[in-house]
Amino acid sequence: MRRDIFQAIADPTRRAILVLLAVQAMTPNAIAEHFEIKRQSISKHLRILSECDLLKPRQEGREIFYELKIDKMKEIDIWLDQFRKIMEQSFKQLDDVLYTLKNKKK
Amino acid sequence: MRRDIFQAIADPTRRAILVLLAVQAMTPNAIAEHFEIKRQSISKHLRILSECDLLKPRQEGREIFYELKIDKMKEIDIWLDQFRKIMEQSFKQLDDVLYTLKNKKK
DNA sequence: ATTTTGCGCAACCGATCGGCTTCGCATATA
DNA sequence: TATATGCGAAGCCGATCGGTTGCGCAAAAT
């Protein structure tokens, strides 16, 4: 079980489920209506997403509403931050180069 | 071949490679030194990342320097935007609720 | 001219993935 | 009480994944 958030969003069906649940909590059957796969397969996806802490199930009678834990999505953002920082740094270095060139011209 | 960017970053080794290459372009051998897997496996990862347009190979004699096409990372950001927007909307709705409650108190 | 080095490709292999079907259980509903 | 419904768990299966080894080729070094 690798089961990290990146592996979770690797599957296009799971990404679509996340988008659906971002709008409103839904039951497995309701979700399955939006796809061409069986409810049981949806359940498998829901299990994976839940294990990654991306979803929170809420039992209501015999139904289970899965809701998105949107905060968890921040983890992806945090990972992307590395690149934003490195990019900034690259621009800074580029600035330095430009600055040096400018001074040499003088 | 699914080969989209989300499948590309699903693998932890590939994510680490991206971070390495964010700092500076490197050859397969140089990259492999940072991992405990064979150079050929690294090459496989590099092929996948290149096919996703995340890397650009630059031949230099018999060496190939792979460099990160950092712009491609924005695609992930764009996907995340959906959730940011939905979150904003949720806060807006929450504001509406709070506003209504406030008025009822009067 | 020969050997070493850097690389990608192809074939192989066990593990995992993402569907499927079948089942059992708990909760409505008749 | 009997039946229908909503769900998860388990087992199956073909496809893909991520590693390996063993090439062959071109460039560099000897």
- Concatenating the DSSP letter of every residue in B12-27 gives HHHHHHHHHHHHS-B-
* Residue keyed to tokens 């009067």: B106
Which range (A62-66, A94-98, B49-53, B72-76) has the least confidence?
A: A94-98
Q: Predicted confidence band at A103 (pLDDT cuts at 50, 70, 90)?
A: confident
For residue A96, the number of C-alpha atoms closer than 13 Å in the C-beta half-sphere is 6
pLDDT at A104: 63
Domain range annotation of chain A = 5-68, 71-106
Here the tokens at position A58 are 């809420």
pLDDT at A106: 43
Look at strands A55-60 and A63-68 and give their pairing.
antiparallel
| Per-residue tokens: A60 | 């209501």
In whole angstroms, what is the distance from residue B33 CA to residue A68 CA? Answer: 40
Looking at residue B86, what is its pLDDT? 85
**Residue among B1, B9, B91 with most chain A CBs within 10 A, to mutate:** B9
Helices B12-23 and B39-51: angle between axes, nearest 10 degrees: 80
Contact A54, A76 (CB under 8 A): no
> Could A12 and B4 be called an inter-chain contact, meaning their C-beta atoms sit closer than 8 Å?
yes
As a whole number, mean pLDDT of residues A40-69 equals 98
Euclidean distance between the first and final Cα of chain B, in Å? Answer: 62
Q: Are B73 and B14 in contact (CB under 8 A)?
A: no
Q: What is the mean pLDDT of chain B?
A: 91
- Report chain A residues whose CB lies below 8 A from the CB of B18: 83
Percentage of chain A beyond pLDDT 90 is: 76
Q: What is the DSSP letter of A56?
A: E
Domain A5-68, what architecture? Answer: Orthogonal Bundle (1.10)
A93 vs B62 pLDDT, higher one: B62
Task: Identify the residue with better confidence: B99 or A44.
Answer: A44
At residue B68, the 3 state secondary structure works out as: strand
Residue A2 scores a pLDDT above 70: no
Of A residues 40-79, those with CB within 7 angstroms of nucleic strand D are: 40, 43, 46-47, 57, 62-64
B56: three-class secondary structure by DSSP: strand
Which residue ranges of chain B lie beneath pLDDT 70?
Answer: 1-2, 104-106
pLDDT averaged over every residue in chain A:
91
Q: Residues A89-94: what's their mean pLDDT? A: 74
Contact criterion met (CB < 8 Å) for A83 and B77: no
Estimate in Å the CA B78 to C1' C6 gap, whole number: 37
pLDDT at B106: 42
